[in-house]
């Protein structure tokens, strides 16, 4: 009887000791774990003992400018503006055609009519660039949509630099003009090639 009690007491003591050891081991896991969640770091606007002013946020050095921001600012216009910040020439249109073919035609189609390969395979068709609403939209609207996206379209600011966005806008305007140009606006050598009934349009 005494030995059974002694055995029970020793088993309890062993269980308590084992529990204490486990609790001690578990309590130290947080300090032993070194991953990115527990690394020493400063969160935004948190106090810091490292710097004299006690702030973790450091002020920008005088005259600091983000790389590429000056060029981006020069090419940025208001969304409702019809200005064009670059000279439009053949090289810009060819660049726009190339970029349009890479980034825009999968959804919008090579002719800008909304019948790209992605749309033909089940995605919602984007509107045609040749509808009145988009023909009358300002240049800044198209630049903003390319930059920030619209509807199901993601923004392309990371993939397409500002100069190429304007090249795409220039080419898009050429696409629109190709379907809605008046014969009177064409050069004389092209007007001569038109059928007789179309020359008065």
Note the pLDDT tens digit of each residue in 96-133.
999 999 999 999 999 999 999 998 898 888 999 999 99
Q: What token pair was written down for 74?
A: 């020069």
Stronger pLDDT, 110 or 185, i.e. the higher one: 110
Is residue 167 a contact partner of residue 96, using CB atoms and an 8 Å limit?
yes
Is residue 126 a contact partner of residue 114, using CB atoms and an 8 Å limit?
yes
Mean predicted lDDT score pLDDT of the chain = 83
- At residue 31, the pLDDT reads 57
Write down all domains in the chain, each with its CATH number in brackets: 72-183 (1.10.760.10)
Q: Which of 17-26, 41-50, 99-108, 122-131 has the lowest mean pLDDT?
A: 17-26
Greatest mean pLDDT among 9-13, 41-45, 84-88 lies in: 84-88
- At residue 132, the pLDDT reads 92
């Amino acid at each position: 009887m005494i030995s059974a009690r002694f055995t029970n007491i020793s088993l309890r003591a062993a269980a308590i000791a084992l529990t204490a050891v486990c609790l001690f081991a578990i309590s130290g896991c947080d300090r032993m774990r070194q991953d990115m969640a527990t690394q020493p770091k400063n969160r935004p606007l948190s106090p810091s003992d490292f710097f004299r002013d006690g702030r973790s946020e450091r002020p920008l050095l005088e005259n600091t400018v983000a790389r590429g921001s000056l060029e981006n600012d020069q090419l940025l216009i208001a969304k409702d503006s019809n200005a064009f910040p670059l000279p439009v020439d053949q090289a810009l249109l060819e660049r726009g055609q190339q970029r349009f073919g890479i980034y825009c035609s999968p959804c919008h189609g090579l002719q800008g009519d909304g019948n790209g390969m992605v749309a033909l395979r089940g995605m919602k068709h984007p509107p045609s660039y040749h509808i009145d609403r988009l023909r009358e939209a300002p240049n800044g609207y198209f630049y903003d949509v390319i930059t920030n996206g619209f509807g199901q379209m993601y923004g392309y600011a990371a993939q397409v630099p500002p100069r190429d966005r304007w090249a795409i806008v220039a080419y898009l305007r050429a696409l629109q003009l190709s379907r809605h140009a008046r014969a009177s606006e064409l050069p004389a050598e092209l007007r001569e090639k038109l059928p007789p009934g179309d020359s008065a349009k």
